[in-house]
Amino acid sequence: MKTRLIMKTKTDKILEIWHKHFADEENQYSEFEPSDIEYFVGCMLYNHFAFSKSLENLKTMDVSYDFLSSCGEEYDEIQAILKEIEFASEEESLDFLISFVEESRAKYTSSELYLLNRLQKHLQTLQNIYSGAIDVAPVDFQNPLYR
């Protein structure tokens, strides 16, 4: 429980840095939504945790070029904090990330939740894989017309 609180403090610090950075409209990209910050921090955590049981198509959740190109010099500080966020198991990491997304969703209106809802669905699928509720099957991204 103490570890979880320490890691939450670290994610809160990341959010504080980027919310302050993006509060300046000069730093915002087109179609910026404040909820984008939580979404992209969630994606960065997802990539950082590198879940071994994630579906092949979920192993790398891309962090948007627009966001990364607008996040400023704070990016290095955030990467350093992110590297300190570690748990004893993948299951603990997943539980932490699910809680992070749930808390983030509570901050915004339904019209601002598109990206966070998308991340939540990915995490629910991963949670079902870890619990054994569904089996992992490879995803075939081949165009059926060219087989």
pLDDT exceeds cutoff 90 at 14: yes
Q: What is the pLDDT of residue 69?
A: 86
Q: Could you tell me the two tokens for 62? A: 């891309």
pLDDT exceeds cutoff 80 at 144: no
Identity of the residue numbered 116: L
pLDDT exceeds cutoff 90 at 15: yes
Identity of the residue numbered 21: H
Q: What is the pLDDT of residue 146?
A: 66
Long-range (24+ apart) CB contacts under 8 A made by 56-63 are 56/138, 56/139, 57/139, 57/141, 58/122, 58/125, 58/126, 61/119, 61/122
Q: Could you tell me the two tokens for 58? A: 């979920």
Mean pLDDT for 117-127 is: 93
**Is the CB of residue 91 less than 8 Å from the CB of residue 132?**
no
- Listing DSSP states for 108-123 in one string gives S-GGG-HHHHHHHHHH
Q: What is the pLDDT of residue 143?
A: 67
Q: Is the dihedral of CA 105, 107, 19, 66 positive or negative?
A: positive
Q: What is the pLDDT of residue 115?
A: 92
pLDDT in tens, 45-70: 998 998 888 877 666 666 677 888 89
pLDDT in tens, 124-140: 999 999 998 877 766 66
Q: What is the pLDDT of residue 116?
A: 95
**Is the CB of residue 44 less than 8 Å from the CB of residue 82?**
yes
pLDDT in tens, 70-113: 988 899 999 999 999 999 999 999 999 999 999 999 999 999 99
